[in-house]
């Protein structure tokens, strides 16, 4: 039985796409579904090898001479779930439910970022009663992991130089500038050696996490960094410690909420005391941001050959020294983060530790400086560091008639002025600005909270309100 009101087109399409797996790099089913949608309605459609889909719809009668408009959003969602949730993002539909007017998914991310944008475009394309200029709807893939779809997009047949971005949240908030970014992959080979001791498990839980661009300045705890701090405290207690396994986080652009390690100690009691002592200190520090933080220990099965002393110490040192969080605040825009990074994923590939870091900055030179520091720290700790997935930021457009029109319509329809926002999060706008010189961009989207975490929720009244506004805006673009 449907959860949402099926008479509201954007609701209906959102619920339909929630039944189709569409995590980053797993968008093929959704991409094919979009192509089928277009063909069933006789619309022009092109599907790219990477999975991007472009659907065009002719202008309504009377709008033939109006400049075309692009609607744009991304197909993929961040796949996060609570530890106790059993859910396979490659095949299971999202389990939707409503609570006090907010839509959520049980135990998982909702994918309103950017499912609401995809659903909005489908609803508009499917409604022949709407009045609008020629539409070019661009659905991209792999935005969440590096904007690979926007980077690969062939824009040669796109005419529009007015773009409504639908990857937004905040109703009357439109992004005017966004950060560029870069990703680091750090690998450290570890060596095993016999060691006698007692094995303990260490688990960090209860952190809020969240989008590493939106919440990086909120002071939320990073489970990987906190686990390293806890293990360093064990080392400082004088107890001999060896690592058996260590992991944390699942996406480099999401602040990690959980982290785990198994260690072998010469004095288990002293190790547990050190962990409890540091856990209390951290809990006190995070009492305003992550009140549910916890660290737990327990007995574990001891392998015959954990990692040796040098490998264990160097990996913990690496994790402790890696910068994380805000590096520099903007001097031009009050309250805006200029440069930051997020130590997002820690995993093991056999006897090699792998650390994935997402970096963001509004300045290229500052991004380079942060990357150089991460590279130097990695080298000093005996690790290798590789950088990839660099993407451009979006510069502020001081003169934009399209933005002025958007503002006038918002004033007419909602009675409010749009808020022009510079954000630290990355966005696909930088690639569209590169590929389509002179393009003017605005953004519209509903209130969405706690994106990239299982707490994600979308205000459904706001979703409907934004959909109606976009329709009203298109109707007023007859020139």
How big is the CA angle at 141 (ends 47 and 354), to the nearest 5 degrees?
A: 140
Out of 76, 171, 290, 314, the active site residue is 76
DSSP 303: P
In sequence order, what DSSP letters do the residues of 354-378 get, joined into one string?
Answer: EEEEEEEESSHHHHHHHHHHHHHHH
- Residue 84 CA to residue 78 CA, distance in Å, equals 18
DSSP 145: T
Q: Is 334 helix (H, G, I), strand (E, B) or coil?
A: coil
Phi and psi at residue 223, in whole multiples of 5°?
Answer: -60, -35
Report the DSSP beta bridge partners of residue 187.
354, 384
- Residue 330 CA to residue 110 CA, distance in Å, equals 31
**Taking a C-beta distance cutoff of 8 angstroms, is the pair 414, 435 a contact?**
no
Report the DSSP beta bridge partners of residue 255.
210
Q: Going by C-beta distance under 8 Å and a sequence separation of 6 or more, which residues neighbour residue 80?
A: 108, 109, 209, 250, 251, 254, 257, 452, 453, 454
Q: Is 76 considered catalytic here?
A: yes
* 218 CA to centre of own chain: 16
Helices 9-17 and 112-125, axial angle in degrees (round to 10): 130
Out of 143, 167, 314, 459, the active site residue is 143
- Residue 217 CA to residue 406 CA, distance in Å, equals 30
459 burial via Cβ count (<10 Å: 0-12, 13-18, 19+): buried
Q: Is 143 considered catalytic here?
A: yes
**CA nearest 213: which of 403, 71, 78, 378?**
78
Q: Is 407 helix (H, G, I), strand (E, B) or coil?
A: helix
Name the E strands within 86-233: 96-99, 102-105, 135-140, 162-165, 173-189, 198-205, 210-211
How big is the CA angle at 216 (ends 396 and 80), to the nearest 5 degrees?
A: 110
Q: Quote the radius of gyration of the chain (alpha carbons, Å).
A: 24
DSSP 305: -
State the catalytic residues: 76, 143
């Amino acid at each position: 039985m449907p959860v949402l009101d099926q008479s509201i087109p954007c609701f209906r399409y959102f619920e339909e796409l929630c039944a189709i797996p569409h995590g980053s790099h797993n968008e093929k089913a959704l991409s094919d579904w979009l192509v089928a949608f277009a063909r069933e309605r006789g619309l022009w459609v092109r599907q790219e090898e990477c999975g991007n889909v472009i659907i065009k719809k002719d202008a309504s009668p009377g709008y033939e001479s109006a400049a075309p408009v692009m609607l744009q959003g991304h197909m993929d969602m961040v796949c996060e779930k609570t530890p106790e949730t059993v859910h396979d993002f490659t095949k299971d539909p999202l389990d939707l439910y409503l609570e006090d007017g907010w839509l959520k998914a049980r135990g998982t991310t909702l994918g309103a970022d950017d499912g609401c944008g995809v659903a909005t475009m489908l609803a508009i394309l499917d409604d022949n009663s709407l009045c609008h200029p020629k539409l070019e709807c661009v659905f991209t893939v792999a935005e969440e992991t590096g904007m690979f779809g926007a980077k690969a997009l062939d824009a040669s047949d796109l005419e529009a130089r007015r773009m409504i971005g639908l990857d937004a949240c905040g109703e009357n908030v439109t992004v005017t500038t966004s950060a560029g970014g870069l990703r680091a992959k750090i690998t450290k080979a570890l060596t095993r050696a016999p060691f006698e001791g007692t094995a303990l498990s260490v688990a960090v839980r209860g952190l809020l996490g969240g989008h590493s661009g939106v919440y990086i300045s909120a002071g939320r705890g990073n489970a990987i960094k906190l686990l390293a701090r806890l293990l360093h405290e064990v080392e400082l207690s004088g107890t001999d410690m060896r690592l058996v396994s260590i992991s944390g986080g699942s996406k480099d652009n999401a602040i990690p909420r959980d982290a785990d390690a198994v260690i072998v100690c010469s004095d288990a009691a002293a190790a547990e005391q050190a962990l409890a002592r540091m856990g209390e200190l951290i809990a006190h520090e995070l009492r305003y941001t992550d009140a549910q933080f916890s660290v737990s220990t327990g007995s574990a099965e001891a392998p015959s050959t954990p990692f040796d002393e040098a490998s264990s110490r160097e990996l913990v040192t690496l994790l402790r020294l890696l910068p994380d969080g805000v590096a520099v605040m903007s001097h031009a825009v009050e309250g805006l983060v200029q440069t930051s990074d997020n130590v997002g994923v820690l995993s093991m590939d056999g006897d090699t530790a792998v650390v994935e870091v997402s970096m963001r900055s509004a300045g290229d030179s500052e991004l380079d400086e942060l990357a150089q520091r991460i590279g130097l720290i990695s080298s000093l700790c005996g690790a290798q560091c590789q950088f990839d997935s660099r993407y451009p930021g979006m510069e502020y457009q001081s003169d934009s008639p399209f933005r002025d029109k958007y503002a006038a319509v918002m004033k007419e329809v909602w009675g409010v002025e749009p808020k022009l926002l510079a954000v630290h999060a990355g966005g696909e706008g930088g690639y569209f600005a590169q590929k389509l010189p002179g393009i003017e961009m605005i953004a519209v989207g509903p209130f969405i909270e706690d994106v990239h975490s299982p707490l994600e929720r979308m205000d459904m009244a706001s979703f409907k309100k934004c959909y109606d506004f976009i329709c009203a805006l298109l109707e007023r673009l007859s020139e």
